[in-house]
Amino acid sequence: MRDNRLLGSLRAGEASIGTLMTIPDLLVAEVMGTAGVDFLVVDTEHSPMTTEQLHGVLTALYPTESTVLVRVPAHGDVYIKQALDLGAEGVIVPSVSTAAECRAAVASARYAPVGSRGFGPRRASRLHGDRADYLARANGQIAVLAMIETGEAVEAIEEILATGGLDGIMVGPFDLAVSLGHLGDPEHPAVEEAIQKVLLACQGSGVPFGIFSNSLAATQKWVSRGALLTTIGSDLQYLDAGIARTKADLAAVKSASRKES
């Protein structure tokens, strides 16, 4: 099993920047694998990705040097087990609102005696080394990140951060905004205040703080405030940007043609 580069960076206090994959296509996965980001998040929560498609995407990402994480659909042990057995190097668990939910998520990703992960790493143990090596190292090389995206989670943040084996948190600002009554407004002062509370709690407890961001400006803002985990866009966002650029280019060409005629 290869070293988890993301965990190495987090433990060294170094900031890591990743991006999201939402399109269940092997060629897209191969292209995304060359992006050079620190980590890739394969999103199975908000994308129509089946377990079979996830298997294919993870296979296509095999050559990448980026750490490959899967955002599972929910905080259930079946989802976590499937993602890890298919070869994910870590999981991001959504909607963790209580310390009990956080403890359950961490336990689902660790083999006994420290956790309750079921046995069956048929693909994972073949990726890097042999089964014995995987089993010996998995507990120390699998990353578990909990998503903070509800008002309840913000109120319970101290207890959540006390969870043993938790490698970091990721704030979901859009869902947090919804939870706080500010749909579509993640920059509302109340949302910013809640995120700042989580950031300060992370800094006080030594647990890496992370946040999903969808722009360079947002990424730079949070890294400057001490975030060790941020994202910058997604495959779909890059596609949208390319289409917008093409539309602008087409409009410019047609405008120039009309002037010439």
Residue 259, pLDDT score: 79
Residue 122, pLDDT score: 79
Q: Is residue 29 part of a domain?
A: yes
156-184: b (≥16 Cβ within 10 Å) or e: bbeebbebebbbbbbbbbbbbbbbbebee
Q: Is residue 219 part of a domain?
A: yes
Q: Is residue 253 part of a domain?
A: no
| Range 129-136 average pLDDT | 86
| Range 45-73 average pLDDT | 95
Q: Compute the distance between CA of residue 15 and CA of residue 20 in angstroms, rounded to an integer.
A: 17
Q: How many domains does the chain have?
A: 1
- Kindly report which listed range (101-115, 117-131, 200-214) carries the lowest average pLDDT score: 117-131
User: What is the chain's mean pLDDT, rounded?
Assistant: 94
Q: Please give the residue that has the higher pLDDT: either 32 or 261.
A: 32
Catalytic residue among 46, 55, 182, 188: 46
Residue 256, pLDDT score: 85
Q: What percent of the chain has pLDDT over 70?
A: 99
pLDDT band at 237 (very low <50, low <70, confident <90, very high): very high
Q: Could you tell me which of 161, 168, 146, 162 has the C-alpha nearest to residue 11?
A: 168
Q: Is residue 107 part of a domain?
A: yes
What is the rounded radius of gyration, in angstroms, for the C-alpha atoms of the chain? 19
CATH of the domain at 228: 3.20.20.60
Q: Is residue 28 part of a domain?
A: yes
Active site residue 46: yes
Range of the domain at 68: 5-234
Query: Is residue 55 over pLDDT 80?
Result: yes
Q: Compute the distance between CA of residue 261 and CA of residue 259 in angstroms, rounded to an integer.
A: 5
Residue 23, pLDDT score: 96
Q: Is residue 245 part of a domain?
A: no
pLDDT tens profile 61-102: 999 999 999 999 998 899 999 999 999 999 999 999 999 999
Residue 1, pLDDT score: 85
Q: Could you tell me which of 17, 91, 24 has the C-alpha nearest to residue 54?
A: 24
* Residue recorded with tokens 């006390």: 162
Q: Is residue 246 part of a domain?
A: no
Q: Is residue 178 part of a domain?
A: yes
pLDDT band at 238 (very low <50, low <70, confident <90, very high): very high
pLDDT band at 220 (very low <50, low <70, confident <90, very high): very high
